[in-house]
Amino acid sequence: MAEIKPAANPQRPLSPHLQIYRPMLSMTMSIAHRATGIALYGGSILLVWWFAAAAQSDSYFDLVQAFFNHWFGRIVLFGFNWALIHHALGGIRHFIWDMGQGFKLSTVEWMVRANLIGSIVLTILLWAVAYGVKP
Amino acid sequence: MIIDPGMKTPLKKVKGFGSAKSGTDHFWQQRATAVANLPLMAFMVGFVIWHLGATRAEVIASLHHPVVALLLIMGLASAFWHMRLGLQVVIEDYLHSHLTKFSALALNIAVATSFFAVSAYSILKMSFAP
């Protein structure tokens, strides 16, 4: 929460940031964790909208349901769901690190791959089951 | 600030004097809500997907069960608080001028708590509806 004051000497070197490093999967997945978190923040308004509509009236809820049943609404929901699963798996990855485990480079590499592939597989699986049960 | 040199332990002297004035509270709340979110969001996603093509009457019928309504409200409380904590870190990382930073921090809390209020009220209204 400290205020960043303008540097007295503008020539002072800055600490290296994203543009300095060669992109790596672990770095990209760290950014993806933050990006999905921000996306979920924005997307959560859809959940609020859905609950508020259900509390409102039959006609308004039917309208909102029609939006989510439309192919565009389904794609939005699918993306929202993927972001949630990706962020949740990323959170589990961080729990493992919080416990002081999994810092070996090969383990880190394995975990970020499992995070990315797992999120895609789990989301498709969940929607396949959902469409199977209620098409 | 004058600190009594004799009667306080070193821990008491430094408590609440970190840069954020709140110690590790933020970190712990982020982790606690993250753990809570895992089962509660699984239930939330299941509820929403289950009711995707449903009529309003069917949604209200499901919400009549107190356990369903309570699990959803607890999920919303945990998720929106987690969301508020998370975006606070993003704001503190990228916004550095006093006015924009504090406006964004205040707006973040206003948005997250409003989202919770609207959705929790909607669920209660339907749960209590005859």
Predicted local confidence at residue A124, as pLDDT: 97
Q: Is A20 on the interface with B (CB under 8 A)?
A: no
Q: Which residue does chain A place closest to B129, by CA atoms?
A: A55
* Residues B68-95 pLDDT 10s: 999 999 999 999 999 999 999 999 999 9
Mark yes or no for CB contact B86/A41 under 8 Å. yes
Kindly report the length of chain A. 135
In sequence order, which ranges of chain A are alpha helices (DSSP H)? 25-56, 58-69, 71-98, 105-133
* Residues A36-95 pLDDT 10s: 999 999 999 999 999 999 999 999 999 999 999 999 999 999 999 999 999 999 999 999
pTM score of the predicted model: 0.86
Of residues B55, B87, B123, nearest to A41 (C-beta): B87
- Mean pLDDT, all residues of chain A: 90
Q: Tell me the average pLDDT across B104-110.
A: 97
Please report how many Cα atoms fall inside a 13 Å half-sphere around the Cα of residue A118, on the Cβ side: 16
Contacts of A109 (CB under 8 A, 6+ apart): A25, A26
* Residues B40-68 pLDDT 10s: 999 999 999 999 889 999 999 999 999 99
Q: Three-state SS for A64?
A: helix
Predicted local confidence at residue B110, as pLDDT: 98
Q: Which residues in chain A (49-108) have CB-CB distances under 8 A to chain B? A: 50-52, 54-55, 57-58, 61-62, 65, 68-69, 77, 81, 84, 88, 91-92, 94-95, 98
% of chain B residues with pLDDT over 90: 76
Chosen from B82, B85, B90, B122 to mutate, greatest number of chain A CBs within 10 A: B122
Spatial contact of B85 and B30, defined as CB atoms under 8 Å apart:
yes
Q: Tell me the average pLDDT across B16-44.
A: 87
Tell me the residue type at B28.
W
Mark yes or no for CB contact A54/B122 under 8 Å. yes
Of residues A38, A52, A84, nearest to B90 (C-beta): A38
Confidence of residue A1 (pLDDT cuts 50, 70, 90): very low
Of residues B21, B55, B115, nearest to A44 (C-beta): B115
Confidence of residue B130 (pLDDT cuts 50, 70, 90): confident
Q: Three-state SS for A21?
A: coil
Mark yes or no for CB contact B56/A38 under 8 Å. no
B-chain CB neighbours of A43 within 8 Å are none
Q: Is B122 on the interface with A (CB under 8 A)?
A: yes
Predicted local confidence at residue B20, as pLDDT: 63
Largest CA distance in chain A: 65
Tell me the residue type at A13.
P
Distance linking the first and last C-alpha atoms of chain B: 60
* Residues A86-131 pLDDT 10s: 999 999 999 999 999 999 999 999 999 999 999 999 999 999 999 8
Spatial contact of B123 and B63, defined as CB atoms under 8 Å apart:
yes
* Residues A4-28 pLDDT 10s: 555 567 677 777 777 778 888 889 9
Is the reported ipTM for this assembly greater than 0.90?
Answer: no
Q: Is B104 on the interface with A (CB under 8 A)?
A: no
Of residues B31, B45, B83, nearest to A98 (C-beta): B31
Structure tokens at A37: 């978190």
